[in-house]
Structure 1
Amino acid sequence: MIFLKNDEEIAIIKQSGLILAQAFGVVAKAIKPGVATKTLDKLAETYIYDHGAIPSFKGYDQFPATLCVSVNEAVVHGIPGDYELKEGDIVSVDGGVFYKGFHSDSAFTFPVGEITKEAKELIKVTKEALYLGINQAIVGNRIGDIGGTVEDYVSKHNFTVVRNLAGHGIGKNLHEDPQVPNYGKLGSGVRLKKGMVLAIEPMVNVGRSAVKQEKDGWTITTIDKKLSAHFEHTIAVGEQQAEILTSYQYIEEVFRI
């Protein structure tokens, strides 16, 4: 079932998204070689609790952390730990905030120091694909318009989208209907309506689209061990354009990508 949100509820999700965006700004300042991924997690967790909110991910299906921190070939759901970031890594940080009864969800892929030309292109294309998908999130369009647009753009740059993971509706629950795949046929799927709130999240690989789950039961990696990037915004479907309810403002004050 798809739950439509009213203007007041969307405003609360935007407040949630602001706390998440500001937590990501704190994380961005800490990303450099030698920093353990668990340090990033603790920074975000502290910020979120200090601002009267709750980390959406911690305890979700027994996930042990506030952030998913996924390095290099890890696509999503990486568990923060003792791994120390290295020059040339790329690291995808995914987080959520629960505030006044509603969730927000966002992700960003960071360079660690100087990265390869290929890694820069992957990050650039994935971020651009996110915004192209968001541009399709208007009343009267369909879910396939979002995913089809993302996939078309990614394919033109000789990268692949992960096909067995998807974006989703979001609101009182972290994951709601409908699913928002990063592929699809234009003009197909659920029709978009005012009041729909979606987490749109391209996951893009340098190599094959195939992925696997690691032994920790959470981390998803590319099957060929090539790099993957992940960007995500929570948005509200609009009449003329989508409203982005999360923000990269505080990240982009630190990282110019």
Structure 2
Amino acid sequence: MSDLNTRHGDTSAVITGGAQGVGLAIARQLVAEGCRKLMLAGRDREKGEKAVAELAAMGADAGFTAIDLQDVEACLALIDAAISRFGAVNALVNAAALGARGTLTDTTPELWDRMFDTNARAPFFLMQGFVKHRQAEGGGGAIVNILSQCVHCGQSYLAPYSASKGALATLTKNVANAYRFDKIRCNAILPGWMDTPGEDITQRRYHGATDGWLERAEANQPMGQLCKPHELAGLASYLLSAQAGVMTGALIDYDQNIAGSYPE
């Protein structure tokens, strides 16, 4: 078994949503475990450059690409840019997502399209570019998609979001099945309510949250906290590593509330 500090010594990764939250937490974890080649992607160049500086201080050759995930050509170009910089890429993390609100009755066609273009179509074409590259390299490699507990249902105001994440769940299994003989693994993590910068913005924008909302929310959780990105990152790192063995096509619930449970 490889040492945890070096098990990603040969990893070259692309991480969307890599400038903050879950994506950045996974990037930090990979670098802590030996990864020295990372291409982060996100919308905010200033945040991206700050993340790159942090990872560089940890010893990594990190780059950032500002990207609109609704642009298919930009998604494919992201994989090409990483290959051009590092020579090869063998890990892909789809962590970026649009979390706007919408119910069945008030969701517009425009919101539906933006949700699916960002949360399902973008990962599809990022995986397409990644898999084609890995096949050209003789196979191997790992993908981790960050989904949501909303895959199981989701609140009424998350109808298009839940649908888009459900699409990515099916796609995760489809990709895992299609390319297992190429030794390309594809798994997903389904986190529950998470403590991220994006969630703070969402709570304030859509739910009228005020200062202290996080502490109040955590006080009502079974384990006294929301899901933490740095804790989830350890699981993502494992799934991307050789230590995960033949594990592929898994949809891993990551929450303290159990899907399918009911009040006693």
- TM-score between both structures, scaled by the size of structure 1: 0.32
Higher CA-based Rg: 2
Higher strand share: 1
Q: TM-score, normalised to structure 2's length? A: 0.31
Question: Whose relative contact order is higher, 1 or 2, with alpha carbons under 8 Å and at least 6 apart?
Answer: 1
Higher helix share: 2
